[in-house]
Amino acid sequence: SLVSPHGIGVRDDQALMLVFDVLGVLQSPDDILNAIHTCSRLFGALLERGELFVGHLPEEEATMAGSGGALRKYKVWMRHRYNSCCNRLAELLGHRSFKIKELALCTLMKFVQLEGAHPLEKSKWDGNYLFPRGLLLADSSLLISRFQEYLEHDDIRYHTMQATVDLVARVTDTHQVPPMFWNNTFTLISAVSLPRQQSDISNFYVKHKAPPLPALVFQEHKHVFEKMWFSFLKHKLPVSLYKKVLVIMHDSILPHMSQPSLMIDFLTSAYDIGMSLLSICSSFHHSEYPEFYRKLYSLLDPSVFHVKYRARFFHLADLFLSSSHLPAYLVAAFAKRLCRLSLTAPPEALLMVIPFICNLLRRHPACKALIHRPSLTTDPYDMEEEDPAKSHALESCLWELKSLQRHYHPEVAKAAMAINQALSPHEVSIAQLLELSPYEIFEKDFKKEESGPVPLEFIQPQGLLGRRGDLCVEHFALD
């Protein structure tokens, strides 16, 4: 039997019995909340007082049977009980009661803070430390949201990213990964927000006299951030997660990547499963992707003016086509395809796409030849050709813009008339036009004041069914 070492005192003899009782309750379904509270106070005090064994933990049975001193046996035994407590708290992260899960998490994080200040093993903070890994395996999205509050601390964020990389690698070694694991992992890592510069790294959860070097270095945070996302995105994810990742990629992931082009494999996978529009919108580091412009070109069909992400698509497409190093045939293909699509586009889209096309011509003077080609009798442009290089767009002309000058909406007709004169060297900003809606156009037209009568018909109608000679008059009559 284990006895407390000489000089420890009666209070610690009682603590030994209390440990047995508390761990027993922690394993039972009754009164778990009080047991967690007690473990928090008990082992928190033992950590602060230095009464847990420090160093590589020896086997319990061998230590108890050995000839070591009573104090060493006491600390080894208590350290084993502390480990049992932490393991049980990790199991409770999957409990059906949110109160129990939350309290278990908060207790684990308290131990993280105390053990960081009073290390039990010197190498602990060099790696993953006491990260509550059960978070990702349990169906606990609410609990993960609770844990996200800790991610504002630079050291917790750093070690969480490291732990996530290791955990994803271990879990994916198994034959079947539960879908909730991918969802929980995304919920966690999508909340990781990196500091912007070295001076922003100053908020530490564990109060060290000198924090470990990796958690202090901004570049180390970026490196682990990249590693975390690559380790997650290289696997086949549930289809629902592709869209979630793509929505945040442009603002939350790519700006922190030193080599964003490494995301191309993921973007290609997203494209192949039908997330093409968001995939293209998320990847603006495209220079190393040979099929990028061909895929972008293939996205230009009549639906592009009606999709939910139209504004983001054209904003980023504007960036993609801004490089002066793009060949003229490529820019001409995009301009011509947009012109052809504009013949059936709604007014709110035309008010944006016409300046878009004109900006392309301003950036690439070699394409201005498309504006006026009076000798052209037939249009050589092949709308069905998927390869911009083979579409013959550079040999065509933009007669569609001339047709739009007779559009029924006066603002569209006015915008199309920009090609009647030499284009100004300054581009027109389309930022305010990207989100233009039919309602806004209607409201603007409705509030417009007309100075005189508005002609509705060139020939004044006669009768209810229309003017004389109309088909309605020939085939229908009012009784």
Domain count for the chain: 2
- Among residues 123, 142, 164, the one where a domain terminates is 123
| Domain carrying residue 113 | 10-123
Picking from 73, 99, 123, the residue at the C-terminal end of a domain is 123
Residue 296 is predicted with a pLDDT of: 81
Residue written as tokens 């993609």? 320
User: What mean pLDDT is reported for the chain?
Assistant: 80
| Residue 303, domain member (yes or no) | yes
- Helix (H) / strand (E) element for 105: namely helix 98-117
* Residue 159 domain flag: no
Range with the lowest mean pLDDT among 142-146, 274-278, 318-322, 359-363?
274-278
CA-wise closest residue to 235 among 176, 281, 314, 292: 176
- The rounded radius of gyration (Å) of the Cα atoms in the chain is 34
Domain boundary among 123, 141, 157: 123
Helix axes 10-27, 70-92, angle to 10 degrees: 30
pLDDT confidence of residue 249: 80
* CA-wise closest residue to 137 among 87, 101, 188, 178: 178
Neighbours of 324 (CB within 10 A): 6
Half-sphere exposure of 325 (CA within 13 A, CB side): 2
Tens-digit pLDDT profile for residues 84-128? 888 888 888 888 888 998 899 899 888 888 887 787 876 554 444
* Residue 134 resides in a domain: no
| Each residue's pLDDT tens digit, 31-49 | 889 889 988 998 898 888 8
φ, ψ at 294 (rounded to 5°): -65, -40
Is 3 a domain residue?
no
387 in any annotated domain? yes
User: Do the domain assignments include residue 302?
Assistant: yes
Let me know if residue 165 belongs to a domain.
Answer: no
**Any idea which residue has 């793009």 for tokens?**
326
Q: Model confidence at 285, in pLDDT bands (50, 70, 90)?
A: very low
Question: Is 146 part of any domain?
Answer: no
